[in-house]
Structure 1
Amino acid sequence: MSEPGKNAERIAALRPAYRADLAGGTDRFFGTRSTACPWCGSARLAVRLRTTDLLQHKPGHFTLDRCADCGHVFQNPRLTPEGLDFYYRDFYDGLGEQRMSGTFGGRTAMYRGRAEAMAPHDPTPKNWLDVGTGHGHFCEAARAVLPGTTFDGLDFTDGVELAAREGRVAHAYRGAFPDLAPELAARYDVVSMFHYLEHSTDPERELRAAHEVVRPGGHLLIEVPDPESRYARLLGRWWLPWLQPQHLHFVPVANLRQRLTALGFTVVAEQHAEPHDPVDLLAAVWLALDHAAPREDAPWLPEPPGALRRAARTALLLAGIPALLTATLLDRLAIRPLAEPLGLSNAYRLVARRE
């Protein structure tokens, strides 16, 4: 059977379970709306963004609030455990595993840059734990930069076990980082969290776990989306790093620096240009096209789209190719060199030493 045929069979097999999940609507996927900022406790909250799931197109509406006192942006109401399970399912694993593995596997230059960020502070770490490692592609690429370093991976999905089987990590830890931290106490020269903290239900608990696992004198390396990027305002809901409903917290850099200091870290480096991923305009055009086009088949849809809808989708996406190409050129050639001075960097990176 052809690959499209196999995929259609997998989708059909999953459809009854999704239909049962959605039979009672989506209310159970959301908790109670918070009246206080989870970062500073302030009650001065305002809606920052309302949007839908622009990647998987699963049903539901999501709101991000911003704290007027500290600038923290967070999903409100937040997803319940049932909601997290529903919206993560078939994104990184299942139906989405092959696509996401290809996406993450092709970013070797970015991964090497992340490893090189540690060189001025510890050029020869003996061991490194990558939290939220996914399929371990960062660890595989980083070994070329730091051949004497042992890379372990931690994640709550089965991707980390795949990473161990493929030899990308030396040891795989599966589970929640705060729960596993006591058995890993003071074990690692470096702990990294690359685009992990924004997925956490409790970022401060994750930071405390990192402080426990990093040995004294070791380093914590964090990279997260920058909610203060001008692109976040200019592109609105089409700014890819909002990534609703998966991203629960967006921490301004000043907030993260303060919290790390309070926990006993010293921030030794802050980077904005280096972690910028030049895809903002391309992603915005793609998200808008994909949103406007008829849906492709997915198990959370009541039924597969017919031939006419599939043809209409193909025609619209083909018509959008010139816009996609233009956006790519602007991202990589025109805006990338100016991203930091123009305040357009979509991420920031901190290196912090545990005292």
Structure 2
Amino acid sequence: MKNKSLNLPWAKIDSFVGNHTSPALTVHRPCPICGTLHCRTLLVFDDFQFYSDSEEQPKRAQIREVQCQSCHAVYLNPCYTSSGFGYLFAEAGQSYGSTEGRPQEQINWMGVRGLLDEGKIFLDAGCYDGRFLSGLPKSIRRIGIDIDAPAIVRGQERYGLDGVELIHGAFEAFQCPVEPDVISMFHVLEHLANPVEVLRHLRSISHEETRLIIEVPILEYGKNNDINGFLSAQHMTHFSAHSLGELMSRAGWEVLERQQMSDYDGHRILAKPGGSSIEVMGDVSDRTRVSEYFENWYRNLSEVARKIESWPRTSRMVIWGGGMHSEFLYQVTPLFLQDIQCEYIVVDSDPIKQGKSWRGLSILNPNILKEVEWDDCLLVISSYGGQENIAKAAASMNVPDSVVKRLYDYVTVY
């Protein structure tokens, strides 16, 4: 029988040579919490690639995580410019989003606190295509704002007739038609270069009884087992509970309630308009927390490395996952270093990524797994939150369980 694998576009890692960077992708900034300029470097990736290969567009940038010497906040510096974010994250696609059931938990949480009572005006800052707003009661006015213009257009087509109002604009300068009673920002603030200006703008469009719900991952609970780590390349600011509180106070918000989510690293706060604080008080304990975080992260990297080194050596591997996790797999594990002659293909269910390549490896629809001969080939699951779903999908395609390789014994996700 003819080996169908021979017809697949196998390639060696880094076989594409056209990738490059540009000074327009990033810009240095002051500390996003206190505004000072002095910081120390914590972690650097000099040649980090964002999704697919390209000779035309810059897709590589330096990732430099730092800690403020004054208030001890942790942040990305340089951070992405608006144009840089557009280039680097254009193919994020299905890499974002919450797990099934999370939006309903958030809705229930707000409902118990009377934030979704009939007649309320609700603003979701970072609404994407309005999907979350569409699940809120129709008895309230539902408005969303996002910087992603294509997502806003899709949302208007999908949910506009259902009464969802969507606005395209910058978070720190958009025009809201009314003063909202409730504003939500679920896992948005950590992605923004200017969080204090965004929160000040939200304060300026609010009335005195407006309530703001913010949720971000925080350093205190960042000791997960994901090789991406808490210092994610997607996040521009890496909050602690203290630095988040200081930011809220500086921007003119008074924290009423805090809640640590029990099943992941999210920290949720409820706030109301308050006075603006000029002085930011740092918490020196955040320096210790950073050291403890790195101790945990490097231990996890060692465990993943031992796992990889225990796998049988094969001449070919299929990587399931064309997202940022694969870049971290490249940057911090020995997977692609064990045998420079090994050949790979990548599969991903996201149509945005299919038909392209990453570091020279073709990104294909997972359906091609039916053509792979597994005698001398492994399937490596390159995903954290999607690990078990990918394993089930592979099984449904009759991929032998013995060749399916997981990196994680358990996962904890938003």
Q: TM-score, normalised by structure 1?
A: 0.66
Name the counterpart of 1:238.
Answer: 228
Q: Alignment partner of 2:103: what SS?
A: helix
Equivalent position of 2:168 in the other structure: 174
One of 111, 118, 125 as aligned partner of 1:131: 125
Matched-pair contact (CA < 8 Å) for 1:63–1:77 = yes
Alignment partner, residue 85 of structure 1: 86
Instruction: Report how far residue 231 of structure 1 moved.
Output: 0.9
Q: 1:150 is matched with which residue?
A: 141
Partner of 2:74: 73
Name the CA shift for 1:31/1:122 in 2 (closer, same or farther; >3 Å). closer
| Cα gap change, 1:262 to 1:316, in 2 (>3 Å) | closer
Asked if 1:256 corresponds to 2:244, the answer is yes
Residue 122 of structure 1 deviates from its aligned partner by 3.1
Determine helix, strand or coil for the equivalent of 1:56.
coil
**Once the 2 structures are TM-superposed, how far is the Cα of residue 64 of structure 1 from its aligned partner?**
0.8
Counterpart for residue 379 of structure 2: 315
- Per-residue CA deviations over 1:332-352 (Å, capped at 9, x if unaligned) read xxxxxxxxxxxxxx88xxxxx
Q: CA deviation at 1:128?
A: 0.8
CA apart distance, 1:123: 4.9
Structure 1 position 223, deviation (Å): 0.9
2:127 is the alignment partner of 1:63: no
Query: Which string of whole-angstrom CA distances, capped at 9 and with x for unpartnered residues, describes residues 177-217 of structure 1?
Result: 22214x445x2111111111112121111001111223220
- Kindly, what percent of the aligned residue pairs are identical? 19
Q: Secondary structure at the match of 1:211?
A: helix
**Distance between the aligned counterparts of 2:203 and 2:403, measured in 1?**
47
RMSD, aligned α-carbons: 4.0
Partner of 2:21: 26
Aligned pair in 2 of structure 1 residues 124, 86: CA closer, same or farther (>3 Å)? same
Higher gyration radius (CA): 2
How far, CA to CA, are the matches of 1:276 and 1:169 in structure 2? 32
Gaps of 5+ in 2: 1-7, 9-15, 53-58, 267-296, 305-320, 337-343, 347-353, 365-370, 382-400
Residues 263 and 325 (structure 1), Cα distance of their counterparts in 2 relative to 1, 3 Å cut: closer
CA pair 290-319 structure 1, distance change in 2 beyond 3 A: farther
- Shift in alpha-carbon separation, 1:184–1:249, aligned structure 2, 3 A: farther
What aligned pairs does 1:102-251 form with structure 2 within 5 A after superposition? Answer: 104=97, 107-118=99-110, 119-120=112-113, 122-124=115-117, 126-141=120-135, 143=136, 146-157=137-148, 158-167=150-159, 170-181=164-175, 183-184=176-177, 187-231=179-223, 238-239=228-229, 241-244=230-233, 246-251=234-239
Match of 2:113, as an amino acid?
A: P
Alignment of 1:317-336 (within 5 A): 317=381, 321=404, 323=406, 326-328=409-411, 331=412
Distance 1:64 1:56, change over 3 A: same
Higher mean Cα deviation, 246-255 or 48-57?
48-57
Question: Aligned partners of 1:302 and 1:325: how far apart in 2?
Answer: 24
Count of equivalent residues: 289
Provide Cα deviations, 1:274-296, integer angstroms capped at 9, x if missing partner: 57269xx9x99784795436462
Amino acid at match of 1:247: H
Change beyond 3 A, Cα 1:31–1:87: closer
Give the partner amino acid of 1:238: N
The SS at the match of 2:212 is: strand
Contact kept? 2:356, 2:363, Cα under 8 Å: no
Residues 49 and 276 from structure 1, CA distance in 2 versus in 1: closer, same or farther, beyond 3 angstroms? same
TM-score for the superposition, normalised by structure 2:
0.58
Q: Which sections of structure 1, spanning at least 5 residues, go unmatched?
A: 1-7, 9-17, 332-345, 348-355
Deviations 1:130-167 (A, max 9, x none): 111112222233x2xx4522222111112122122212
Report the Cα distance in structure 2 between the residues aligned to 1:156 and 1:89, rounded to whole angstroms. Answer: 12
Q: 1: CA distance between counterparts of 2:361 and 2:126?
A: 33
Higher helix content, 1 or 2: 1
Q: Deviations over 1:299-325 (max 9, x none)?
A: 465755499xx9687533466856457
* Separation of aligned partners in 2, 1:128 and 1:88: 28
State the Cα distance separating 1:264 from its structure 2 match.
3.6
Aligned residues of 1:139 and 1:169 also touching (Cα < 8 A)? no
CA distance in 1, matches of 2:49, 2:223: 17
Cα distance in 2 for partners of 1:253, 1:169 equals 36
